[in-house]
Amino acid sequence: MRIRISRRRDADASTRSRRRVLYSGMVVVALTTACSAQSGGGEAEGSCAIAAMYGGRTYTQVANVDFTVGKALGPAEFPPCNDTPGHNDDAAGPEPTTAYAVDGLNPRIAIAVRYTSDEVMLLAVQPGGSLPPEVKALARG
């Protein structure tokens, strides 16, 4: 025995349309959750690289290096980070800091800045995304 089920075309199209909206919403939620959970602790982290402007150059953070901070060179600034969609982070403006010399390195290559009250970090000009050889020589391990 063969049973034939007939559906009204309007009801079928309406159901497909609702499913499409539901599935689209599920995809958006899944992508948002995946992007915000990358920090490992469940809290979203900023995606901007740590950078500072000094003397008309942009310096970016260099990790795992041994260096000695020298004398103060003058004012520098951390540019604003626009990593939050829907928020005008540029309205805050750059954050002032002080650039310090790094013993043994030309300030045109690398500087040190105080990032927090107990953290000083090395920043270097990285043309083409690669570290200058003088900075590579300071790398640990």
Contact 75, 99 (CB under 8 A): yes
Please state, in angstroms and as integers, the Cα–Cα distance from residue 116 to each residue in 17, 90, 97, 101, 119, following that order: 53, 21, 10, 17, 5
First to last CA, the chain: 77
CA distance 115 to 43: 21
Contact 100, 111 (CB under 8 A): yes
- 101 domain-assigned: yes
Q: Are residues 41 and 67 in the same domain?
A: no
SS3 at position 105 = strand
- Residue span of the structural domain in which 114 resides: 51-136
DSSP letter (8 states) at residue 104: T
Domain count, the chain: 2
Q: Are residues 77 and 14 in the same domain?
A: no
Q: Tell me, what's the pLDDT at 56?
A: 95
Q: Tell me, what's the pLDDT at 60?
A: 95
Q: Tell me, what's the pLDDT at 141?
A: 54
Structure tokens, 27 = 């995809």
Q: Are residues 38 and 104 in the same domain?
A: no
Local confidence pLDDT in tens for the 141 residues of the chain: 555 444 445 555 555 555 554 444 443 333 333 333 333 343 344 567 889 999 999 999 999 999 999 999 999 999 988 665 655 555 678 899 999 999 999 999 999 999 888 899 999 999 888 899 999 998 875
Structure tokens, 42 = 């469940």
Q: Are residues 74 and 130 in the same domain?
A: yes
Q: Are residues 82 and 21 in the same domain?
A: no
